[in-house]
Chains A and B, each alone.
Chain A
């Protein structure tokens, strides 16, 4: 069973550019969440998508956006990149637990973004 696949694994951009990261969830998983990981702030929740709809959003500026496709694959986009956007971006997928049950997230290996 394939895991969560994130592409690209590494990328370097310059300030002001924009970037798109991709996430393919585990087959059968309909929920996709994105997290930003930095040494200073740790893991911070960006947003969660389920059935092509954003279900929850973290406290990030509007430069950070995402979407989910009908096959559950998800992309996130960061526009007008800043140096502080350098981070490991992690995607996680899960089955829908409804209103109860544990959030068993399976994470991908991440996309490491460096902004110069």
Chain B
């Protein structure tokens, strides 16, 4: 079945790099996503990666995808206190017309200490 797993908590010091890991089970996933949720807010898309890519970099964010191991990671360089939030990994399948059905992990709460 479809399942996305993440560790629940991560604590880092300001200025360090954060690495949030995710594993997924469905090998037919076409896209994998990282979303961020701040308190009292909805989810904000950070970045996504197509399944035939290994890496994607976007400013302070680096996404690594190991399709063989079904492992996805998000690295945040020079982590700031404003990065404190819950980060969700998600996968989507190509159902030929269905585009809303993302499967989310339970989220990793990132705490950044000054």
Asked if A and B bind, the verdict is: yes
> Looking at the complex, which one of A35, A94, A109 makes contact with B99 (CB distance below 8 Å)?
A94
CB pair A45 B103 closer than 8 Å: yes
Any B CB within 8 A of the CB of A90 = yes
**Contact-size category for B:** 20 to 34
CB pair A108 B42 closer than 8 Å: yes
Determine the residue in chain A with the shortest Cβ distance to B48.
A102
Determine the residue in chain A with the shortest Cβ distance to B104.
A43
**Contact-size category for A:** 20 to 34
> Looking at the complex, which one of A4, A32, A105 makes contact with B45 (CB distance below 8 Å)?
A105
A/B pair count, beta carbons within 8 Å: 79
B40 to nearest A CB, angstroms?
7
Q: In the complex, which residues of chain B have a beta carbon less than 8 angstroms from the beta carbon of A33?
A: 100-102
Any A CB within 8 A of the CB of B43 = yes
Any B CB within 8 A of the CB of A70 = no
Any B CB within 8 A of the CB of A61 = no
Determine the residue in chain B with the shortest Cβ distance to A104.
B45
CB pair B43 A90 closer than 8 Å: yes
Q: In the complex, which residues of chain B have a beta carbon less than 8 angstroms from the beta carbon of A98?
A: 97
Q: In the complex, which residues of chain A have a beta carbon less than 8 angstroms from the beta carbon of B43?
A: 43, 90, 92, 105, 107
Q: In the complex, which residues of chain B have a beta carbon less than 8 angstroms from the beta carbon of A94?
A: 99-100
CB pair A102 B50 closer than 8 Å: yes
Any A CB within 8 A of the CB of B92 = yes
| A residues apposed to B, CB below 8 Å | 4, 31-33, 35, 42-43, 45, 48, 50, 55-56, 58, 90, 92, 94, 96-110
Can you report 27 A-B residue pairs in the complex whose CB atoms are below 8 A from each other?
A: A31-B100, A33-B101, A33-B102, A42-B106, A42-B107, A43-B43, A48-B98, A48-B100, A55-B97, A56-B98, A56-B101, A90-B42, A92-B100, A97-B99, A99-B94, A101-B99, A102-B33, A102-B48, A102-B50, A103-B33, A103-B99, A104-B45, A105-B45, A105-B102, A106-B45, A107-B44, A110-B42
